[in-house]
Chain A
Amino acid sequence: MTTTKPETTKTTATGNSKIPYYPGCTLKTTAKNFENSALAAARALGIELLEIPRWNCCGTVFSLADDDLIHHVASVRNFIRVQEMNDYGLVKNENRLVTLCAMCFNTLKSTNLRMKNNAEDLSKINDLMYREEDYQGKVEVIHFLEVLKALGFEKIHDRVKKPLKDLKVAPYYGCMILRPQEVGIDDPEDPTIQRDLLESLGADAVDTPYKRVCCGSYQTVKDKDIVAELAYDILTHAQKEGAEALATVCPLCAFNLDHRQKEVKAKHPDFTEIPVFYVTQLMAIAFGLDGECYGFDQNYVDPRPLLRKKSLIEQQQES
């Protein structure tokens, strides 16, 4: 995106101020349905997420080598954009940076922790980026689920117009919003945040021991088979517990669990397909929002037959 001329802060109709929002590359392409449904659902709750100008790819994984600084530059550059939003008056004293993508969240938050805990690292990175203003270390990286939790699940429940009655959904957390502990937003062994959200939407949240087991992540590039095996375990265990669908907040988990069902099916002919939602798609349905933001065309396993069966979308609703 191009640099836009800063506007002065406008408060939304509901009187709430805007929160800087980092989309990440995949939310602009193959996970557009995640972004569209999340932004619409947030708006319905009076939360205005304002995309940060000139953001750049965070790198999706946090570099774990102690001597490596160059791979943290991308994240820090994004934090400087948040500072600039405050400087230009796009937001007012708002140091929170909201992410939707679990991997962006983990990378940005991990980098931020390293910068906050290590002044020397931060100073080196600031020196390298001498064309930018210095990062002051004040940004707080938070995940959208944390925003919802802070708002209160009762408030979300109040906003529901079409409860997801009888819809059995297994929340799938994956790794990046849970681990490592200092980065995670919930109990790494027994997370509940998505369950609480799904229940506030009126759905039956199905618990599965595989809710926090890795989907294989970037191994999907090198070895699809590894991912297909993990996806098979994750999906069939959810099915054994009675789940009719899964919900996630990670575009890579979504790709591995949804799109890779083609490979799962090829390896395991007994496997039956199961839809994988972004949890925000379910929010949009439950809030009764305009179907245009659902973006089911981008889901590999079409969830519409299931939703029609549950009378959650109209028979002719296509998008």
Chain B
Amino acid sequence: MIKKVEITPENEKFLNKVNELSGQVVTLCEQCGTCSGGCPLVGEMDITPSQWMRLVQLGLKEVLDFKAVWVCASCFTCTVRCPRKIDVSKVAEALRQIILRKAIDYIDLKAIPKDELACLPQIALVSACRKFTG
């Protein structure tokens, strides 16, 4: 499918925001797909890491509508393999942060059944709170 994308100042603003939060230059990505190929969670994602990189390059905010960056487990496999030395997991964090900073959480602690909470080790809940709540 061919889609014409017009790069407006608004798109550039979004790209710059992601660059700023992640400390990466997302436009360096040459879409080789190494990140997607090595991602252990890619099978659970609705778009692949290289796809979210592309969407950000084009400054398309619709990237925020996909759940892929929430499925990312910050395992840094993409980080160590990117031939362009882009830290893709930092880009995922930037996208999560853009949403979390609007006070929209990905998990609702009160919705987790109490008996399930009681079974979770602290390490699981602390990390989930840091990644999924703002």
Contacts and interface: CB of A to CB of B under 8 A. Distances in A.
* Direct A–B contact present (CB less than 8 angstroms): yes
B41 A252 contact: no
A226 B71 contact: yes
A267 B93 CA distance: 31
A103 to B, nearest CB: 6
Contacts, number: 130
Interface string B42-56: 011000000000000
Interface in B59-108: 70-71, 73-77, 79-80, 87, 89-90, 92-94, 97, 106-107
A64 B131 CA distance: 10
Interface of B: 20-23, 40-41, 43-44, 70-71, 73-77, 79-80, 87, 89-90, 92-94, 97, 106-107, 112, 119-128, 130-132
A60 interface: yes
A65 B123 CA distance: 20
Interface residues of A, number: 42
A51 to B, nearest CB: 17
Given A175-B76, A252-B123, A218 B41 contact: no
Given A180-B79, A226-B44, A101 B123 contact: yes
A178 B89 CA distance: 15
A268 to B, nearest CB: 16
A129 B129 CA distance: 23
Mostly, the B contact residues are helix
Interface stretch (A157-165, A209-217, A241-249, A304-312): A209-217
A13 interface: no
Which of B77, B92, B94 is most buried by chain A, counting CB atoms within 10 A of its CB?
B77
Nearest to B73: A217
Given A217-B75, A255-B124, A188 B130 contact: no
Contact of B40 (A66, A188, A214): A214
Contacts of B127: 59-61, 103, 217-218, 252
B123 A60 contact: yes
Nearest to A213: B40
B48 to A, nearest CB: 16
Given A30-B121, A59-B126, A214-B40, A180 B76 contact: yes
Nearest to A221: B128
A222 interface: yes
9 contacts: A60-B126, A60-B127, A61-B74, A65-B93, A66-B21, A179-B76, A181-B80, A222-B107, A255-B121
B21 A25 contact: no
Given A26-B123, A252-B123, 10 more contacts: A60-B122, A60-B123, A63-B93, A65-B21, A65-B90, A65-B97, A66-B23, A179-B80, A226-B41, A229-B44
